Amino acid sequence: MRESRPIARSPITPASPEVIVEGWAVSGRRSRAGLTLTDCTPAAKVVLKASAEGTIPERLGVPFGRAATQTWTLGGHDVAVIIVGSGPGEWLVLAPPGAGAGVFDRVTALAAESTGDLVSVLDLSHGRALVRLTGARSADLLAKETAVNLADAVCPNGSALRSALAGLAADIVRDDRGSARSYLVHCERSSGQYLFDSLLDAGAEFGIDVNGFVPPEI
């Protein structure tokens, strides 16, 4: 009998062709457009909540309103993770697909070492949607969907904020890819398809195209 394994699916319908990557159904499309939108929902997503006055902020090394890429050793392998100070006393850790359990264990151990702090850790890998918008016109597109000032002087690379975007509550993280301006946008799973479609509609005038998800990059 042929072995069958469950396939995880994002709330966002994959653009053709559909391929399976790390147990997830994703788009295998490869675009060379100057502005691209990628469904990164397969990424591991672990949320940690703790007192902003406790020891967790120092241990993570990322304050509220900022994001940073760090290298963590998980299961004997070095893994690039993005730590986002997404709210007062709240952090989001993003990692490649399949790394959720390792990230959860690492964050839980960190919480256990923080004496006197009340800490909660939750794996939301399948409960949230995550997309990446990349290209020189990405800020222009987002300006159509949010009132936040995304100018370099206000929101440089490594900035993180929570605001209304396309009428949704979303986390917006500037995480440039080399010399290319890029943003990660994180929202509730149930709003993932709506957000994706809204960004595609808003980006039509800029020639936006869908690009497939290629781990380990988030």
Confidence of residue 166 (pLDDT cuts 50, 70, 90): very high
This prediction's pTM: 0.94
- Angle made by CA atoms 71, 181, 20, in degrees to the nearest 5: 60
Distance CA 138, CA 145 (A): 11
pLDDT, tens digit, for every residue of 102-131?
Answer: 999 999 998 888 766 788 999 999 999 999
Confidence of residue 4 (pLDDT cuts 50, 70, 90): low
> Can you give the pLDDT at residue 218?
87
Q: Could you tell me the two tokens for 69? A: 């890429």
Q: Could you tell me the two tokens for 153? A: 């002087």
The CATH 3.30.1360.120 domain(s) of the chain lie at 8-42+127-210
Distance CA 142, CA 138 (A): 6
Domain over 8-42+127-210 is classified CATH 3.60.90.10: no
In the chain, the DSSP E strands lie at: 8-9, 18-21, 24-27, 35-39, 44-49, 67-74, 77-87, 90-95, 120-123, 128-135, 160-165, 168-174, 182-188, 209-210
Enter the CATH code of domain 44-123: 3.30.70.1400
* pLDDT exceeds 70 at position 1: no
Average pLDDT over residues 69-92: 94
